[in-house]
Amino acid sequence: MPHDHTDHLSPSGHPFRPDNDAPLTYWQVMEIAIRELLIVKGITTAADIAAQIDAMDARSPADGAKVVARAWTDPAFKARLLANGSAASREMGFDIGSLRLIVVENTPHIHNVIVCTLCSCYPRNLLGLPPDWYKTRAYRSRVVREPRKVLAEFGLVLPDSIRIRVHDSTADMRYIVLPARPAGTEELSEADLADLVTRDAMIGTGLPKAAA
Partner 1 sequence: MADRVRVRAMMPPGHVRTPAYLRGKTGIIERSLGDYPNPEQLAYRQRAEPRALYRVRFSMAEIWGAAAENPDDTLDAEIFAHWLEPLES
Active site residues: 116, 119-121
**Quick one: which segment of 17-25, 62-70, 169-177, 202-210 binds partner 1 (CB under 8 A)?**
169-177
Instruction: Report in angstroms how near the CB of residue 193 gets to partner 1 at its nearest.
Output: 27
158 burial class (0-12, 13-18, 19+ CB within 10 angstroms)? middle
Which uninterrupted H or E stretch holds 199? helix 199-203
Give me the 80-109 binding string for partner 1, x by CB under 8 A, dash otherwise: ----------------------x-------
Instruction: Report in angstroms how near the CB of residue 106 gets to partner 1 at its nearest.
Output: 14
Q: Which is nearer to partner 1, 144 or 180 (CB)?
A: 144
- Neighbour count for residue 55 (Cβ, 10 Å): 12
Q: Which is nearer to partner 1, 169 or 205 (CB)?
A: 169
* Residues 42-81 close enough to bind partner 1 by CB under 8 A: none
User: What does the alpha-carbon distance between residue 162 and residue 207 come to, in Å, rounded to a whole number?
Assistant: 14
153 is an interface residue for partner 1 by CB under 8 A: no
170 is an interface residue for partner 1 by CB under 8 A: yes
Amino acid letter, 175: Y
Q: Which is nearer to partner 1, 147 or 208 (CB)?
A: 147
Rg of the chain taking only CA atoms, in angstroms: 21
- Neighbour count for residue 22 (Cβ, 10 Å): 8
User: What does the alpha-carbon distance between residue 23 and residue 110 come to, in Å, rounded to a whole number?
Assistant: 48
Task: Report the residue from 29, 36, 52, 149 that binds partner 1 according to the rule CB under 8 A.
Answer: 149
Q: Which is nearer to partner 1, 115 or 194 (CB)?
A: 115
Instruction: Report in angstroms how near the CB of residue 169 gets to partner 1 at its nearest.
Output: 7
Task: Report the residue from 105, 117, 124, 130 that binds partner 1 according to the rule CB under 8 A.
Answer: 117
CA triplet 59, 136, 56: central angle to 5 degrees? 15
Instruction: Report in angstroms how near the CB of residue 154 gets to partner 1 at its nearest.
Output: 15
Instruction: Kindly report each contact of residues 187-196 with a partner whose C-beta sits within 8 Å and lies 24 or more positions away, as own/partner.
Output: 190/66, 190/69, 190/70, 190/72, 190/73, 191/69, 193/68, 193/69, 193/72, 193/73, 194/62, 194/65, 194/66, 194/68, 194/69, 195/65, 196/69
Task: Report the residue from 43, 47, 58, 171 that binds partner 1 according to the rule CB under 8 A.
Answer: 171
Q: Which is nearer to partner 1, 45 or 141 (CB)?
A: 141
